[in-house]
Structure 1
Amino acid sequence: MNRRKVTFKLYPNARETERLTGWIRLHCELYNAALEERIDAYRKHGKSISYYDQQNVLPEVKAARPEYVELGSHALQQTLRKLDLAFQAFFRRVKAGQTPGFPRFKASKRFAGFCYPDPAGWKLMQSGTRGATLRVGSGKDSMSIRARGKHRFGDAARPNDLTITRKNGEWFASVTLRVSEDAVARVRTGDGHRGIDLGLNDWATFDNGETIANPRFMRTNLPRLADLQRRQSRKKKGSCRYKRLGRRIARLHERIGHVRLDFIHKQTSRLVASCAVIATEELVISNMSRSAKGTQNEPGRMVKQKAGLNREILSAGLSMAHQMLAYKAVEAGTRLHLSNTRQLKPSQRCSSCWELVPKTLEQRVHECPHCGLRMRRDQNSASVVLIDAHAPGTGVAARQKPRSRQRAKSKSTTRETAAKAFEDAQQSGSS
């Protein structure tokens, strides 16, 4: 069974909104009380409290505070489990030598929401094409909240867990579904082989020269965002106008995220539906978007320019595109090939003679001095990763040390170039 997450937008009335807000406040109070208990136990007695120690005390908490009863035992346990996961991540970062980030107390207005880890205590009922009803609670204390949304998995999908979140004054329900292999399968309409180079000048460049323009989600809305932030900075912090402008800024950021998500969903779905093989290079976006500020002893260079580049990298959503291609390719039966960037060096390698041709970032045209190939840099990179996908034996991963130029020019009858191997692979595939 596969698991897929579907998000529904909730439309609670005034009474239901007040009740959901009270539930979030109680979950936040439980989270902060459990965190304080762990801190005091270690500070005063040097004792570490585990998740199971705090879970076993929940019956006493509900006896002393009856308002916790209607929240459900499993939802309360999940809140304690969330705190335990935060401590596990803290200790993992300490061992790895990273910035630890000790778990902090949370304000109720900034507490995201709560979760039901299993189907108990709630039920989702689909009605019509996009209408739904979410029933939370049990017995006469339950409430039915109108929802909007739909998934493509049919009635055979079984709910696994529910997360109710509050974001910018709106309510959402994320439901994880257990879905069969047949239900998640996508229809593939083509058998093309495509090499893709994801970038910033063009969001995607293919090996045949086709491109997908970069919508520049953040840059398009940057003047409006800067105007709102400038107006907010002139207001008294904490005033009604300051908060009103803060909500408008949050809604603009949310809209940018929604437009980007919609664009990447459509492009990745189109790719996996029309291709049997998709080849691209493996990108580590966290390293590419790392700050250039440096340290006080060793300050960085061109910090403002690198900050603008980082904003464009994150705005393009390249990491999100890789994640979507990964699971959608499995659903459509498409083979996704990720080339090792450090070994293959697609932007520096010639797709015709397979020689390394060093280039700076400003050079957008590939000109090979060995074979005379002249091509757009991104198109050449897309061709290189596609060759690596069809003939991995000719790639750098097969020979860790590059061959010398003299040996590369020798007329050996047993060695084939990458381009020749790619042609043979295509001929064998067509036959």
Structure 2
Amino acid sequence: MGMERRKVTFKLYPTSSQLKRLDGWVRLHAELYNAALQERIEAYRKAGISISYYDQQNTLPAIKAFRPDLVELGSHALQETLRRLDRAFQAFFRRVKAGQSPGFPRFKSSSRFSGFTYPDPAGWKLLQQGARGGTLRLGSGKGAMMIRLRGRHRFAEFTPNDLTLLRRRNPATGEDQWHASITLRVPETACARQRTSEDQVGIDFGLAHWANFDDGSQTDNPRWLREALPRLADLQRQRARKKPGSHRYRQLSQQIARLHQRIADRRRDFIHQQTSALVQRCALIATEALAPQNMSRSARGTVEAPGRRVRQKAGLNREVLSVGFGMAHQMLTYKAQEAGSVLHLAHTRQLKPSQRCSGCWAMVPKALKERWHLCPHCGCSLPRDQNSARVVLLDAWTPQDTPGTGVAARLKPLPAQAGKPRSKTRETPTTTASAV
């Protein structure tokens, strides 16, 4: 039986003494992180020596003998903090090699250290006692902490894999809150979702409507951010007139953070509901592979080549990011897998759904402002977004009507691209981007 990994998050309710102890542990982890970073910097600066993670890990027993207050944190948690620094250096060297902005690892104050991780089940245990809550045990013996938690998951069978304790600032009160993010190893049978029908649907995600389907139906875009913009702008204007660091300045900052948090929560809840409803009724879900990071790039340009219509593009970028395309794709991927459905992600640059006719498969170039598709070859006439949804659904079929392998997987060029030279830099996929 295969095992899947699922992450669940619980809210912790530590007592005042437990809260002080957790804050102390975070300070010790931050101190270890900064000391290890300083050691790497000084070793390379003075002797040209590069210190590895294993070099620093091997010194932990001697450090704990000199600093007994580190013992209760657990060896594996301390090792994970050193791995965290090592991953930061690996990312730094990767960016240097790629010619990107390097971003050298920085020292972290304890107030900006988000938390720490137990990389395996040693040193902690999840005690699920009720339907809505339970207890998290940290440590062992007389010094163990038993912290109340709230939350639940839907898995009857699971094996805890790792634990990350996160400290987050509550936007409503400005106080710190603690959360436990636990990765569970769950049998495939326990992950399964029930599917009620065998529908096959093509979806074109957009801004005017959150989703446009191949049958012409639509799901409206709630536009949580646009509704909150007047209130958000008013709060930011009020804060701009206050002295930074004053009581009123902090109060307004908390109100702004609370408003942003509410927008994010409503967006996440909406996307969860929509994606769950889709995988519950659909055996095949076809859409295009979107790249929100590329879609929301700034048009500012450079001093030598300044951009055009920068403010208009900034407004469009805000709308693109507020829709949550990336979050929807991520949720559809794992939910479709749990329901035994097929998620087909069409190769956008190769297929060009918005420029292709779903009736005759010919290319019909259109500007972004043209919202109606009218094919001069076959006379197909329908809304542009509905046509795109039909194109990605057709792309998910082969002549044998087998879901998940469409024209984007063919090695031959598409008919409308027969005379187009092949790109020297772009990779042409030989298999469809599907998550089964």
1:280 is the counterpart of 2:287:
yes
**Conserved 8 A contact 1:163-1:174:** yes
Q: 1:126-275, aligned counterparts within 5 Å?
A: 126-154=128-156, 156-168=157-169, 169-275=176-282
Q: 1:10-409, aligned counterparts within 5 Å?
A: 10-154=12-156, 156-168=157-169, 169-391=176-398, 397-400=410-413, 402-403=415-416
Task: In structure 1, give the amino acid aligned to 2:312.
Answer: Q
Task: In structure 1, give the amino acid aligned to 2:394.
Answer: I
Task: Quote the offset at 1:92 in angstroms.
Answer: 0.8
Gaps spanning 5+ residues in structure 1: where? 406-431
Classify the secondary structure of the residue corresponding to 1:320: helix
Query: For the residues of structure 2 that align with 1:195 and 1:252, how far apart are their CA atoms?
Result: 34
Query: For the residues of structure 1 that align with 2:417 and 2:295, how far apart are their CA atoms?
Result: 31
Query: For the residues of structure 2 that align with 1:379 and 1:343, how far apart are their CA atoms?
Result: 19
Classify the secondary structure of the residue corresponding to 1:379: helix
Shifted more, 291-300 versus 244-253: the winner is 244-253
Classify the secondary structure of the residue corresponding to 1:337: strand
**Percent identity of paired positions between Structure 1 and Structure 2:** 65
| 1:71-122 alpha-carbon deviations (Å, 9 max, x no partner) | 1111111111001001101111111111111111112111111111111111
| 1:186-215 alpha-carbon deviations (Å, 9 max, x no partner) | 111110010000111111010001111111
Indicate how the Cα distance of structure 1 residues 396 and 123 shifts in structure 2: closer, same or farther if over 3 A, else same.
closer
**Conserved 8 A contact 1:131-1:148:** yes
Classify the secondary structure of the residue corresponding to 1:336: strand
**Conserved 8 A contact 1:132-1:147:** yes
**Conserved 8 A contact 1:396-1:402:** no
Indicate how the Cα distance of structure 1 residues 395 and 171 shifts in structure 2: closer, same or farther if over 3 A, else same.
closer
Query: For the residues of structure 1 that align with 2:153 and 2:417, how far apart are their CA atoms?
Result: 56
Task: In structure 1, give the amino acid aligned to 2:16.
Answer: A
Indicate how the Cα distance of structure 1 residues 61 and 250 shifts in structure 2: closer, same or farther if over 3 A, else same.
farther
Classify the secondary structure of the residue corresponding to 2:353: coil
Gaps spanning 5+ residues in structure 2: where? 170-175, 399-404, 419-436
| 1:31-66 alpha-carbon deviations (Å, 9 max, x no partner) | 111111111111111111111111111122222222
With the length of structure 1 as denominator, give the TM-score of the two structures.
Answer: 0.90
| 1:267-326 alpha-carbon deviations (Å, 9 max, x no partner) | 111111100111101111111111111112111111111111111111111011111111
Task: In structure 2, give the amino acid aligned to 1:50.
Answer: S
Query: For the residues of structure 2 that align with 1:239 and 1:250, how far apart are their CA atoms?
Result: 17
Task: Quote the offset at 1:402 in angstroms.
Answer: 2.9
What count of residue pairs does the alignment treat as equivalent?
A: 404
Query: For the residues of structure 2 that align with 1:147 and 1:214, how far apart are their CA atoms?
Result: 35
Task: In structure 2, give the amino acid aligned to 1:158.
Answer: T
Indicate how the Cα distance of structure 1 residues 218 and 280 shifts in structure 2: closer, same or farther if over 3 A, else same.
same
Task: Quote the offset at 1:395 in angstroms.
Answer: 5.9
Query: For the residues of structure 1 that align with 2:416 and 2:323, how far apart are their CA atoms?
Result: 37
Query: For the residues of structure 2 that align with 1:221 and 1:21, how far apart are their CA atoms?
Result: 35
Query: For the residues of structure 1 that align with 2:229 and 2:417, how far apart are their CA atoms?
Result: 49
Classify the secondary structure of the residue corresponding to 1:295: coil
Query: For the residues of structure 2 that align with 1:147 and 1:397, how far apart are their CA atoms?
Result: 52
| 1:115-146 alpha-carbon deviations (Å, 9 max, x no partner) | 11111111111122111111112111111111
Query: For the residues of structure 2 that align with 1:247 and 1:108, how far apart are their CA atoms?
Result: 21
Query: For the residues of structure 1 that align with 2:417 and 2:257, how far apart are their CA atoms?
Result: 56
Task: Quote the offset at 1:401 in angstroms.
Answer: 5.1
Shifted more, 26-35 versus 217-226: the winner is 217-226
| 1:193-243 alpha-carbon deviations (Å, 9 max, x no partner) | 100001111110100011111111221222222222222222222233323
Task: In structure 1, give the amino acid aligned to 2:78.
Answer: L
Task: In structure 2, give the amino acid aligned to 1:163.
Answer: T
